[in-house]
Structure 1
Amino acid sequence: MTPEGGDPGWPEADVIIGNPPFLGGKLLITNLGEEYVTNLFRAYEDRVPREADLVCYWFVKAGEHLGGGASKRVGLVATNSIRGGANRRALERATGGRPIFDAWSDEPWVIDGAAVRVSLVCFSQADDEFTPERRLDGERVDEIYTDLTARRGEAGVDLTKARRLARNAGVAFMGDTKGGPFDVPGDLAREWLQEPTNPNGRPNSDVLAPWMNGMAVTRRPAGKWIVDFGWTMVKEEAALYEAPFQHAQEHVYPMRKGNRDEVHRVHWWRHLRPRQNLRAALDGLSRYIVTPRVAKHRLFDWLDVRVLPDSQLIVIARDDDTTFGILHSRFHEAWSLRKGTSLEDRPRYTPTTTFETFPFPDGLSPDLAATDYITDPRAQAIVSARPATRRTPRPLALPARVGGVDRGTRPRLSPAPSPPRREGPDRTKEANLDLPVQRPAAVARQRPHPTRHRRSCRLRLARGHHRRSGRPRTVDEKPPIAGAGIQRIEP
């Protein structure tokens, strides 16, 4: 940018080579200031998507320089997120009519202690006689696409041209964005649920719900709940739910009162983005499918409809096993890896570019009710394979329904205690969870994790069990090693 906030001109040059600064699109205002970023958006309006990373402005500027004949070739470094989302759209504009002749799609980059994953992209004028070959990751190819995949002869498809399908619309959503510490421990939420009714005669269950984020799906649930006043409740109404409102006033208000967005600043007791469309889509379901937005492995799980999903979860508003099975297929996994973006080396799943573009089998698409294909042999095959292929839905130790549905789709809940901890000297150290996970029989039969298996064997031997059969040893039997007593071995 020029000091006046304009688009600077670049001198003529044979080649443009550089390592532009890495700064994510969501961090522009924080690091560069609101005034600078406003001028940047204005100068590159309709040229660079506003959600794009800072490095994309160099790519677009270099591509325009190439298009004007002021340069012949370009070679720039970017984070590997240049391959998807708004960044890829910027790369597509930069390389329009200017082929990528050499690229490294995903390489480690360590400098000054910072470790990131980068892509190196080289493109040129279409008639450049010095770049006849195309190479991707050091291998010769016939064509390189803007998602930095390639065609080799007849092998290779340009999935960047895949478009969103109308029949997939309105099914996948990002979860609720709370925009502040609305989440509370499960024990505190249960205390609030047990309190007498509020001055408005209503229970706290109106504004409390179990809450799960991506970590709760990929690891173990933390048993948290969340305060949720919806998106229409005014401050005076919210204040009548005394304990939850006091929590929001003490923990949320201090951080929201300085928000640049007037709506979010004034209505600080409401979630930042409550996803009304998501909640409407879940109405009438008993469960729904979730997948973490960012995860090393692409997995899907079931959640009870009473659980409010965080923005780090992508929600698929379906409750049938057929859709669940299709999403867990190798075809969809491969599609999601190609169409999604990434955070460092972890793939990111998106409702638009990943789910809405996926070609579901004809007759099994998400715009149809599950009852429409209940007799379809393909659907029946998926359902019959269910015990061996799907994860068992997480059983919920949630308060029971006590009648009525409050505030749209939220069922009223009555308090329930936490699952009791196991007592005794050999009790394992387990968290007291609201959402315990039970291992299905099919999984229980699988070979255990080797480290856990060895630890379990050592403990059984320490307690006097047979090494082979695992049955308790009688008082007359000796240890398997003559002259050696078996002592408890701590892990």
Structure 2
Amino acid sequence: MNIEDFITRWTAREGGAERANYQMFLSELCDVLGVPRPDPAGAERDLNDYVFERAVSSTALDRASAKRIDLYKKAAFVLEAKQTHAKGGTKAAPDQLPLLPAEPEHLGRRSTAKGWDVLMRKAFNQANDYVHLLPTDHAAPPFLIVADVGHCFEIYADFSGTGRGYAYYPDRKGFRIYLDELRDPKIRARLATIWTDPHSLDPTRESARVTREIAERLAAVSKGLEARNHPPEEVALFLMRSIFTMFAEDVELLPKGAFTNLLEECLDSPAAFAPLLKELWEKMNEPDHDRRFYSAFKTHLRYFNGGLFEKARAFPLGKEEIGELLAAARRDWRQVEPAIFGTLVEQALDPAERRRLGAHYTPRAYVERLVNVTVMEPLRADWRAARTKAEALADAGDEKGARDAVRAFHHQLCATRVLDPACGTANFLYVSLELMKTLEAEVLETLVQLGEPESIGLETVDPHQFLGIELNPRAAAIAELVLWLGYLQQHYRARSSHPAEPILRAFHNIENRDAVLIWDGYPLTTVVEQNGARVETYPNARRPEWPEAEFIVGNPPFIGGKDLRSRLAPGYAEALWKAHKAMNDSADFVMYWWDRSAEILARKKTILRRFGFVTTNSITQVFQRKVMERHLNGKPPISLIFAIGDHPWTKAGRESAAVRIAMTAAARGKLDGVVWEVASETGLDTDEPALTFTEKRGKVNSDLTVGVDVTRARSLMANDGICSPGFKLHGSGFIVTPAQAEHLGLGKRPRLEHHIRLYRNGRDLTARPRDVMVIDLFGLTADATRRDYPEVYQHLLEAVKPERDQNNRAVYRDNWWIFGEPRRDMRPALTGLGHYLATVETAKHRVFQLLDAAVAPDNKLIVIADDDAATLAILSSRIHTHWAISAGGWLGFGNDPVYVKSSVFDPFPFPDPSDTIRARLRALGEELDATRKTVLAEHADLTLTGLYNLLEKVRAGTELTPIEADQKSRGRVLILKELHDQIDTATADAYGWPRDLTGEQILERLVALNAERAREEAAGQVRWLRPDYQIPRFAKGAAAKSGELDLGEAPAAAGEDLPDFPKNAADRPPAVLAVLDQAEAPLDVAAIARSFKKGGKRIEQAVAKVLPGLVRYGHVTALPDGRYAGRKAI
């Protein structure tokens, strides 16, 4: 069928009966677009990936009354036809009200008249709900289509894969396609691509490529200007002015093509470039219209202002450099992606970063993920409530009241502020702006449908609402530019008119300052004399104030707590700790932003609604958890409403793997949340990384899990003094080879064998030992070392002392000849033992082994001062391993589990087995340790990690390669499997628990046992792990702690937080909808009425009057038994 026949057939007035047959209409549309027609539906629902009437599951509905999508194509779209919701249609509401839209006067044509089309809105809402009913292995499709048969299509898109943010596609001006517009081949091609390659239509894909190419051009110009010794700040301003001028040309704020033509002319006359450009920028900044005539363009210019063109300076450029600017100007600047543009421009301007240009930035999709949860979810919920109120008023014939309700939300949206207190080049602020402008487009379209004339005089979402704090002055300046570019991009996507002048405004919304520390005289420090040295100080150090905002979101700097002294300016860390008294000194730098935001969120009368931050994935480790726990358990409490514990961040490149991060978002009160876990990830080294997730809902714990809260387990006195990290050297010069040790006197100097010992770190245990030794002079003074071991002293003077002299901590500088952390408390626990247990702190596999007591352990080993192989067996069991993974942290690109003493070992409740079971555990532990050591001694090509990789594959039933099969045989992997299985059984027996517990059941029992042991210890009964060692040292302290037991807060009284039922009838639909949206199961009228404070029978009639409207617009589903299901219940 050709396009003309199709349009004529379906827009003919006599085709009314046919128009109800949407399947024929859509099948013939496929023919016109040149795409395959839908497949016949089969009995196996899972195979129906491109069909009409695709059934979707619902917990509220039985299979016989399952919901059906009008047309579904997996990974492409959900399509709903308006006609199926009309009276007599398959999806008509049971008690549909008579207010239906009149059929358009001219079918298939664009008209200036727009109307309030109830059925189109219901079809959209229904399609949106269907997305969340798709099978779990079907990602939310990128497109959602609403079809008015014979008249038009409305196209919505959400490329995030979550289905939570469908918005007009490509924009408000073009999302509605009328049948007569299908004559345009470009529109037909776009529709066809929705069928065949939908993700290629994601505008950010092309934008990322264009943006990177432009940044490369700018880097070449920047490099040339710096080579001529121009100040970097002036170079940055020059390029930012050039950037905006190119953009202004493409959106016709400057005459179309004029700036590009000017650059072309300057190729032949480079000397004219600087004076022409300087004059252009001066004219753009001139408030007087008569003085804004620019002769090179032969026209008066618009008034730009905003500070960008103040004191404009243009540098002379050579022909090649002008050529680079010309190449950049010829690109379509409307396609630039501001979400990554700022980062790339900053890299282009920074000589140190330029070589990594385009290889290390944050893909926009990652930023959008956090912004959607933190900022847009509550705003979209507000909009849904406002729209529901407007629908009720429109149904009642009060269109003015409906417009007022929509205008009130628009005013709220235009007053909403977003703060990024570490904004960098504003990628989070820009994405927030774009998504809020997208929402604003929906609001304005709704006003037009309600009869409001389009007006450019309305207030609008603009850059003044997006607040930033940024320490780097160049990044702060780029941030301002990024926000204005993004704002103007969105303006032209929604409107055809230019914004009011001045085009740019100096809102001063990006503050160039420190966000976490201020002091008297800031930003200058005070230099004082201390011990004969000049030292920078921070007098009266304190926390700075932040601008007020409804939302806080961002990506503060990543510096580990242990690195603060070395990475920050001298004295800064100490001043930071002094100013933030509630923070523990070991917390990562990013947690200072998290802590401040949480404090603001919990304040009385706070306007902050949510905050969300990107942090390192070490947030699940103990020092970060302590920060969160203080607020999660505070008065009033806050809750984690969203968390991802491990997520890629910056784009991966040849030089480095992608950084791994965590995301958290919080809101005030005791609320359930959702935890996402990455199920798969591909394309991390591209501009289109593809991630899929699984999710769990419930109370989110401080370790970013849902379910059993292992962080509530408390340290047990029974484990005191047994576990410690190994030695922290603070100087590689302590490590020597055996030959070096002999040269330093080993075997010649008396008792030196006590001070030069074998040394093992994590790699030595998981791979192969390096055969190195370490100089351990703990207990010796510098004088004694020089006298008794002069060769050693001389070596350390040269290899260690210079490095220690530069250390900020006096204790490290003054005691330079001994380890930085010599573990004074661990040494007595190891005294008298022939062996001790050790595990690698951060490792893929949680493996424990016995080490000879003569071996010195590195800081990255966790030492358990116990030589009992029964303890080795218990720690190697599935029960303890599951506990260690859940209670520990995660670290690194491989996201390997971290064994943390304070959260894993200290609260772990060891079993108290009978002598028979203990003997069995001891024998199994000895055999396990001996088997592994024998295998590794006999086969130099095998490693401990390799053995456990094979064991993991054997358990999973993975087919082994011939090489792996040989290693399995030589490595006795099946014997290892049998030993671990027997250890698991014996450990379960030691606890007296079933042998087939799930991981969640194990955690439940361990947390309960921990609480039981804590009660025992409070009563004076301690089940010491090594009583002979522990009782003389810790029993007195244990007795003093007896009786101290915190039983926690009493639960809040039921019903005290119920909402009031609105007195105003127009406010009742959004209130009832909010109740149904939160309900896990369908509710009848009586149950809905009881969900309000002092509700019940007195408001049942009022509730019943609200429900038909909610059903008619597709917000809720009416069930045959009289109940109503909201989004969570369907």
Q: Provide the TM-score with structure 1 as the length reference.
A: 0.72
Q: Deviations over 1:401-422 (max 9, x none)?
A: xxxxxxxxxxxxxxxxxx9xx9
2:813 paired with 1:265: yes
Other-structure match for 1:7: 543
Other-structure match for 1:381: 920
Other-structure match for 1:93: 630
Q: How far apart are the structure 2 equivalents of 1:51 and 1:205?
A: 35
Note the 1:411-422 alignment, pairs <5 A. none
Note the 1:79-478 alignment, pairs <5 A. 79-95=616-632, 96=634, 97-111=637-651, 115-126=658-669, 134-137=673-676, 139-151=695-707, 157-180=708-731, 181-192=733-744, 196-197=748-749, 202-344=750-892, 345-363=895-913, 376-386=915-925, 389-392=928-931, 450-451=962-963
Shift of 1:164: 0.4
Q: How far apart are the structure 1 equivalents of 2:663 and 2:853?
A: 44
Shift of 1:453: 6.0
Distance 1:123 1:285, change over 3 A: same
Q: Deviations over 1:112-151 (max 9, x none)?
A: 8562222211111228xxxx76322163522111111013
Other-structure match for 1:482: none
Q: How far apart are the structure 1 equivalents of 2:823 and 2:696?
A: 46
Paired residue type of 2:518? T
Distance 1:430 1:362, change over 3 A: closer
Rg larger in structure: 2
Q: How far apart are the structure 2 equivalents of 1:145 and 1:27?
A: 27
- Please state whether the residue corresponding to 1:390 is helix, strand or coil: helix
Distance 1:287 1:448, change over 3 A: farther
- Please state whether the residue corresponding to 2:794 is helix, strand or coil: helix
Shift of 1:176: 1.5
Q: Deviations over 1:323-367 (max 9, x none)?
A: 00000011111111111122221221122221111110125xxxx
Higher-strand-fraction structure: 1
Shift of 1:449: 7.9
Q: How far apart are the structure 2 equivalents of 1:268 and 1:259?
A: 10
- Please state whether the residue corresponding to 1:336 is helix, strand or coil: helix
Paired residue type of 2:901? P
Q: How far apart are the structure 2 equivalents of 1:359 and 1:393?
A: 27
Paired residue type of 2:851? L
Identity %: 32
Q: Deviations over 1:35-83 (max 9, x none)?
A: 322221111112x211111111111111111112131111221111112
What is the RMSD of the two structures over their aligned residues, measured on CA atoms?
3.2
Q: How far apart are the structure 2 equivalents of 1:430 and 1:245?
A: 38
- Please state whether the residue corresponding to 1:61 is helix, strand or coil: helix
Shift of 1:87: 0.7
Q: How far apart are the structure 1 equivalents of 2:805 and 2:663?
A: 42
Asked if structure 2 preserves the Cα contact closer than 8 Å seen for 1:73 and 1:124, the reply is: yes
After superposing the two structures, state which structure 1 stretch, 66-75 or 240-249, moved more.
Answer: 240-249
Asked if structure 2 preserves the Cα contact closer than 8 Å seen for 1:80 and 1:119, the reply is: yes
2:580 paired with 1:44: yes
Shift of 1:162: 0.6
Q: How far apart are the structure 2 equivalents of 1:91 and 1:81?
A: 13
Q: How far apart are the structure 1 equivalents of 2:871 and 2:736?
A: 33
Q: How far apart are the structure 1 equivalents of 2:841 and 2:904?
A: 11
Shift of 1:20: 1.7
Shift of 1:282: 1.1
Q: How far apart are the structure 2 equivalents of 1:299 and 1:143?
A: 31
Q: Deviations over 1:147-190 (max 9, x none)?
A: 11013xxxxx1111111000011111111222212111123324
Q: How far apart are the structure 2 equivalents of 1:455 and 1:381?
A: 29
- Please state whether the residue corresponding to 2:663 is helix, strand or coil: strand
Distance 1:147 1:256, change over 3 A: same
Note the 1:48-59 alignment, pairs <5 A. 48-59=583-594
Q: How far apart are the structure 1 equivalents of 2:572 and 2:726?
A: 31
Paired residue type of 1:92? E
Distance 1:20 1:189, change over 3 A: same
How many pairs are equivalent? 392
Shift of 1:267: 2.6
Q: How far apart are the structure 1 equivalents of 2:719 and 2:602?
A: 37
- Please state whether the residue corresponding to 2:649 is helix, strand or coil: strand
Paired residue type of 1:329? S
Q: How far apart are the structure 2 equivalents of 1:70 and 1:2?
A: 24
Structure 1's unaligned 5+ residue stretches are 152-156, 364-372, 396-418, 423-427, 458-491
Paired residue type of 1:280? P
Q: How far apart are the structure 2 equivalents of 1:98 and 1:194?
A: 59
Q: How far apart are the structure 1 equivalents of 2:810 and 2:755?
A: 24
Asked if structure 1 preserves the Cα contact closer than 8 Å seen for 2:745 and 2:791, the reply is: no
Distance 1:35 1:208, change over 3 A: closer
Asked if structure 1 preserves the Cα contact closer than 8 Å seen for 2:724 and 2:901, the reply is: yes
Shift of 1:379: 0.8
Other-structure match for 2:380: none
Asked if structure 2 preserves the Cα contact closer than 8 Å seen for 1:264 and 1:272, the reply is: yes
Q: How far apart are the structure 2 equivalents of 1:227 and 1:293?
A: 22
Asked if structure 2 preserves the Cα contact closer than 8 Å seen for 1:133 and 1:140, the reply is: no
Asked if structure 2 preserves the Cα contact closer than 8 Å seen for 1:210 and 1:308, the reply is: yes
Other-structure match for 2:414: none
Distance 1:347 1:234, change over 3 A: same
- Please state whether the residue corresponding to 1:102 is helix, strand or coil: strand
Q: How far apart are the structure 2 equivalents of 1:456 and 1:385?
A: 20
Q: How far apart are the structure 2 equivalents of 1:448 and 1:382?
A: 31
Shift of 1:387: 6.1
Paired residue type of 1:188? Q
Higher-helix-fraction structure: 2
Q: How far apart are the structure 1 equivalents of 2:746 and 2:730?
A: 27
Q: How far apart are the structure 1 equivalents of 2:609 and 2:968?
A: 65
- Please state whether the residue corresponding to 1:311 is helix, strand or coil: coil
Q: How far apart are the structure 1 equivalents of 2:739 and 2:659?
A: 39
Asked if structure 1 preserves the Cα contact closer than 8 Å seen for 2:746 and 2:756, the reply is: no
Shift of 1:303: 0.8
